[in-house]
A and B are shown apart, each in its own frame.
Chain A
Amino acid sequence: MTLSPDDWLAVRTSLIVAGRATAFALPVAVLTALVLSRSRFAGRLALGALVNAPLVLSPVVVGFLLLLVFGVQGPVGGWLHRVFGVRLAFTSVGASLAAGVGAFPLMVRSVRQAFEAADPRLEIAAQSLGAGALDRFWSITLPLAWPGLVSAALIGFCACIGEFGAVITFAANIPGETQTLPLAIYADLQAPGGDAHALTLAGLSFALAVVGLIAAEALQAFGRRWSGR
């Protein structure tokens, strides 16, 4: 199996789009997971539904909604364009936004699992030793959860690479810019005689996903031992 420069471009685009998406989505996922699992407020159910919506919505709908909000004519996208001259739709950053939103529910779930693996009684002990809420989070909760958080990031990264519908709808299929592996596969399948090439890229996607998921599982197992469970 040899990869052409075009293939490498798709791999590179995938890594950039998914890497950027994961880097931005993980901190937000951590915050969201904490809010959902630790606070009790009126809008909690609504927030949970909003976060999980991409899981059950068609990715095309997600991409379309992103266009409505973050497109140049949309309320947020229009503002970004006027004030900063930034355009999200049909750009690499936009591809990251679409991929990140699609993968977000999965990341929040994995992050919640990571935090739940830490024994809450350790926090009570830390509190009795003089640690306030923020202090406990940094000194106990986060260090105990880190293998699970890295695992959540990996799962999110793999999901971002795999995201298709939202990316192509919001960011289009531009080689070197928004054309990640699944979009390149789609483009190959549309071209006459592109099947063999598509198969190569599909194999590559499969290998990436399997390696990522095995690493994520291994990290979770390590995390359970690490946190003394």
Chain B
Amino acid sequence: MSGAAYSVAVKTRLGRFHLDAAFEGSEGVTVLFGPSGAGKSTILSAVAGALRPDAGRIVLGGRTLLDRARRIDVPPERRAIGWVFQDARLFPHLSVEGNLRYGLNRAGEGARAIAFDAVVEALGIGPLLQRRPLSLSGGEAQRVAIGRALLRQPELLLMDEPLSALDEDRRDEILTFIERVQGAFAIPILYVTHSRAEARRLADRVVRLDRGAVVAQGGADLLAGPTAGASEGRLPR
């Protein structure tokens, strides 16, 4: 784990919810960890550019994406950030291959370091290329969504609880693919979850959030707690 790859500081108010969070993300996987409603997804939206915070500054690899004080706000389509959603959000009118190439075709010719074949190989989606998204299982769709985001040639990959729509067996499979992708392409990942098991498995760095504020940030040891190894909130009650 090297130093900070990006830094995020956002302050915003959504109704009665106040978000005031600042943290640094590293190479590898940075996990935004905290209970539902802590503001994790709101932070991802701000980093992606889908939400404009009242105040804040977001710097990625020396590039300032947002600085409200200096009136800098790079539009989402030019932020070079891939975004994997809870639901795969594949384009239903395009084939799997069409979905994968959507971002690739829009990345500058010179910036195509991540190759189509390599991504298809790493995610094991070769047999799916001609399929329609609506015919895919949840796990397959999420693998395609990860591939689509990667082929966009991102400098940062956002993952917003990408396993939450999947059943138990598929979750483990997708986690393995995420680890493989991280190993193969070395794109920093900002991963949102409220599952301690997921966080512990993936995290190089941990940012703990609660009620719109960062309560701790540091190494994976932050995940040790009174409930370590036990309840994940998803087990049968």
Contact = CB atoms under 8 A, between A and B. Distances in A.
A226 interface: yes
Interface in B77-95: 77-78, 81-83, 85, 87, 89, 91-93
Contacts of B75: 127, 132
B50 A124 contact: yes
A193 interface: no
Interface stretch (A18-26, A138-146, A152-160): A138-146
A128 B152 contact: yes
Nearest to B82: A128
Contacts of B77: 127-132
B148 A129 contact: yes
Contact of B83 (A125, A131, A135, A228): A125
A140 B89 CA distance: 12
A129 B77 CA distance: 6
A82 interface: no
Contacts of A119: 89
What 3 pairs between A and B have smallest CB-CB spacing?
A129-B103, A130-B106, A228-B92
B106 to A, nearest CB: 4
Contacts of A132: 75, 77
A113 interface: no
Interface residues of B, number: 25
Contacts of B34: none
B149 interface: yes
Contact of A135 (B48, B106, B133, B149): B106
Contacts of B134: 228
B160 to A, nearest CB: 11
A140 B152 CA distance: 17
Contacts of B81: 128
Specify which of B85, B93, B152 lies most central, judged by the most chain A CB atoms within 10 Å of its CB.
Answer: B93
Contacts of B78: 130
Given A121-B85, A228-B134, A129 B93 contact: no
Contacts of B91: 122, 125-126, 140, 144
A127 B89 CA distance: 12
Contacts of A129: 77, 82, 102-103, 106, 148-149, 152
A202 B134 CA distance: 44
Interface string B41-74: 0000000111000000000000000000000000
